[in-house]
Amino acid sequence: MSLNEEWFTEICPESGSAFSLKVKQRLHEERTPFQRIEVYETEHYGNLLVIDGYVMLTDRDNFLYHEMLAHPVLFTHPHPRRVLIIGGGDCGTLREVLKHPSVTGVQMVEIDERVTRVCEQYFPDLCSANGDPRAELHFKDGIQWVDQAPQGGYDIIIVDSTDPIGPAVGLFSEDFYRSCRRALAPEGVFVQQSESPLLHQPLIRSMHDKLRQGGFNHVHTLCFPQSCYPSGWWSATMASASTALSDWRANDALNKPFATVYYNRDIHRAALAVPEFMADKAP
C-alpha cells in the first residue's frame, strides 16, 4: 500500500504509523537468497535503499545513523585498533570507523554480498573507503563468525543490523551477546542499533537485561534523530565489561582529525542523556 505510484511507503504496524518518500523512479530490484533489495531515486532524499520493504537508508539522512553507530563507541574505547562490524553491508559504518587513525583493521561480516554490491553501485559515497587496506569484507553469517572468533581479538564490535525480525533475531539474543563478550578484549566496547526510544522500549529493556546476563557490566543507550526510521528517533545500545561508558575520550572527540556532519563532542554527550521516561523504566 502506498500513497500512489509516485511514493514509496513503509508502514510500521506496531505504532500504526507510516513514512513515505516521493520517488522519481525505481533504480534497482532483486531478490537474493536472503532478502529483496530495492533502490529508488527520491525527489528530495537522494537515493533510497529498501530491504524487504523496510527503509534502510537514504543519501540525505544516513549520516545520523552511521556516525552515531561508529564514533561514540570508538571514542569510548581508550585505544581502538581492531574492529568487527556485523552486518553493515551498505558500508557507511565501515567508512566512519576507518576515519579513526588508531584503527589498524576492520572486518565487516555481512551475510548478503548483494547488499554491498548494490550499494557500491548506487551509494558510492558510502563505499568510498572499501578499498582502504585496513578493511576486510567477508560475506558470511555474523553469528557463526563471532562464535568462531579468537577470544579477546577485537577492541570494538558494532552490530549494524536490520530490525529484530527474520534473520536478525539471533543478533538480539543472550547467546550472541555472550559470544561478543568473549570475542572482545577486556577493555572492549560493543554497540548495536536498538530501534526507537519512543516505540520500542520493551526491546531496549530486554537488550539491557540480556547484555548484562551475557557478561557486560556497563550498558547504556544512546539516542539520536533518524528521520527515515519509524518515529524519526532512534537509538544504539553500548555495552562493555570493564570500560565505563561515561568516561569517554571527550578531548579527542573535540579535536577529532576528520570531518563529520552530525557527530561532535557535544553531540556525543547529548546522546548519552537519558530521557525521564527511560530513566524511570530502565533496568
Query: With binding defined as CB under 8 A, does residue 225 bind a second copy?
Result: yes
Q: Which is nearer to a second copy, 42 or 76 (CB)?
A: 42
Query: With binding defined as CB under 8 A, does residue 255 bind a second copy?
Result: no
Whether 209 is a known active-site residue: answer no
Query: With binding defined as CB under 8 A, does residue 75 bind a second copy?
Result: no
Q: Degrees (nearest 5) of the Cα angle 75, 107, 168? A: 90
Residue closest to 91 by CA, chosen among 53, 129, 65: 129
Q: Provide the residue type at 268 as one letter.
A: H
The residue count for binding a second copy (CB under 8 A) is 49
Give burial (CB, 10 Å; 0-12/13-18/19+) of 266: exposed
Query: With binding defined as CB under 8 A, does residue 231 bind a second copy?
Result: yes
Query: With binding defined as CB under 8 A, does residue 272 bind a second copy?
Result: yes
Q: Are 245 and 218 in contact (CB under 8 A)?
A: yes
Query: With binding defined as CB under 8 A, does residue 263 bind a second copy?
Result: yes
What is the secondary structure of 247-262 as a DSSP string? S--HHHHHT-SS--SS
Active-site residue identified among 160, 163, 252, 280: 160
Question: How near is the Cβ of 177 to a second copy at its closest, in Å?
Answer: 26
Instruction: Indicate the pairing of strand 17-31 with strand 184-193.
Output: unpaired
Cα–chain-centroid distance for residue 116? 15
Q: Which stretch binds a second copy (CB under 8 A): 36-44, 81-89, 98-106, 212-220?
A: 36-44
Give burial (CB, 10 Å; 0-12/13-18/19+) of 241: middle
Query: With binding defined as CB under 8 A, does residue 233 bind a second copy?
Result: yes
Q: Which is nearer to a second copy, 142 or 197 (CB)?
A: 197
Selected from 83, 156, 223, 236, the binder of a second copy by CB under 8 A is 223
Positions that interact with a second copy (CB under 8 A): 1-4, 7, 9, 11, 14-22, 42-45, 60-61, 197-198, 223, 225-227, 231-233, 259-264, 266-267, 269-277, 279
Active site residues: 160
